[in-house]
Structure 1
Amino acid sequence: MDFLSPLLTADTLKISVILLTLKVAGIATVVSSVLGILTAWCIARRPFPGRTWVDALCALPLVLPPTVIGYYLILLVGRRGLLGPWLAEFGINLMFSWEGAVVAATVVVFPLIYKSARAALEAVDHNLENAARTLGASEWKVFLRVSLPLAWRGILAGVMLAFARGMGEFGATLMIAGNLPGRTQTLSLAIYSAFQAGDDAQALALVIATSLLCMGVLILADKLATGGLSFGRGA
């Protein structure tokens, strides 16, 4: 393994890039989790006019090219976009900032959480939910005390997958946040830059780091989805 030692030096493996990637993916996952779970709950509760269109809109980022998502975001929050001037009044500029990278990652990973949460919530025994309603529980209490605890495993697996996807986001992030070393450069962007510059050692080190991080997240997500991981006593 000595041949890997020069690849894993502090100079080659930029810890700051990894930390920024984890921060962007982590915040995006948290925001998407809140929005995705609540949206899935609203759609899974009962049919309503236009539900098919809303469901398709929520899942759209799954099939759109990342560059298309990035362009939509520029039209929405760019300096001359729909919300850009309004955000500027509060001193918020998402273009070429790590916050913009968070927005891009949030949009990209949202469908993963939404789809997982909806499937998990729809799999909950509705008789248990109706029993809680019969006992006087409000819809919000039914969700928090019955639906969510029963669906948590599937939801958490989706959250883990979304986090892994957020770490690898490239296209939309590049368009809205750019590729600024030390400011907006995430792992995927750093790999691209190192490859373009012919720095194979750095590219390989970052590829290995990304692969190991994503592999760990995927293994954990699989154990959660299949029930192979328990947090209780005797696990």
Structure 2
Amino acid sequence: MFDFSPGEWTAIFLSLRIAIVATVASLPFAILTAYALARWSFPGKTLFNGFVHLPLVMPPVVTGFILLILFGRRGTFGPFLESLGIVLAFRWTGAALACAVMGFPLMVRAMRLSFENVDRRLELASGTLGASKLWTFAVVTLPLATPGVVVGCILGFARALGEFGATITFVSNIPGETQTISAAIYTFTQVPGGDEGAMRLTLVAVVIALAALMASELVQHYADRRVASFE
């Protein structure tokens, strides 16, 4: 039952690789976006907020198709990127991009809530001591918001790990290149006798997702206890 084939191991490790790259690449953009939504006022903020969270409500296939139009070999930016040696369509890097886009809203939501809960009096105190806004953000705001940043990364990682619709639309289902756990499970369900392989990978996906959710709950619990200790 738990004798994984080489192809299954490849799908597992590829999924982890893609999810990690997607999360790490999204992190600085998610922090900046979350902070902007939490603290800044600017024209079109509501529209920008809706655009950021659009992947949560759109069908994943639509997101994948948009990525194909934009970054495919014949897409809007595809030829230019290919001239730089960057090919995303039908590559694992494209799968990482699709997973990053799908997980980005979850990262931003968790981080935004954390930034909104940071006591601004501490930031003002830092400013009165001569610290610049950038330095205050680096040494006061971001450390206090770290639990939310960590939770956002965990949720983004879990979402990236389970992504299917946008990924298979943008980069297809190529064994060893773009076939993630979700795509491999789909492949197994389409062939006779593939139920056992699908079940093995399903259990792996459930265990990883459950571990990620438990980790996010532990981080949030630690953050709540730390805040309570200062009250």
TM-score, normalised with respect to structure 1: 0.91
Q: Is the 8 A contact 1:84 1:93 kept in 2?
A: yes
- Which residue pairs with 2:109 in the alignment? 115
Q: 1:140-168 deviations in whole A, cap 9, x for unaligned?
A: 11111111111111221121111111100
Inter-CA distance 15–228: structure 2 relative to 1 (3 Å threshold): farther
Query: Do structure 1's residue 140 and structure 2's residue 139 form an aligned pair?
Result: no
How big is the shift at 1:43? 2.8
Identity over aligned residues, as a percent?
41
Where does residue 33 of structure 1 map in the other structure?
A: 27
Change (3 A) 1:12 1:86: closer
Partner residue of 2:229? none
Q: How much does 1:11 deviate?
A: 2.2
Q: Distance in 1 between matches of 2:96 and 2:25?
A: 9
2:97 equivalent among 71, 96, 103: 103
From the superposition, tell whether residues 228 and 114 of structure 1 become closer, same or farther in structure 2 (CA, over 3 Å). Answer: closer
**Aligned Cα root-mean-square deviation (Å):** 1.6
User: What does residue 220 of structure 1 align with?
Assistant: 215
Q: Which runs of 5+ in 2 are unaligned?
A: 226-231
Could you say which residue in structure 2 is the equivalent of 1:206?
201
Distance 1:54 1:96 in 2: 29
| CA distance, structure 2, for counterparts of residue 36 and residue 171 of structure 1 | 22
How far apart, CA to CA, are the structure 2 residues paired with 1:95 and 1:47?
36
**Following TM superposition, by how much is the alpha carbon of 1:183 offset from its aligned partner in structure 2, in angstroms?**
1.1
- Bigger shift: 111-120 or 45-54? 45-54
Instruction: State how far apart, in whole Å, the 2-side matches of 1:153 and 1:132 are.
Output: 21
Question: Is the 2:173–2:179 contact (alpha carbons within 8 Å) kept by the matching residues of 1?
Answer: yes
Structure 2-normalised TM-score?
0.93
Gaps of 5+ in 1: 1-6, 231-235
Q: CA deviation at 1:228?
A: 7.8
Alpha-carbon distance in 1 for matches of 2:93, 2:118: 36
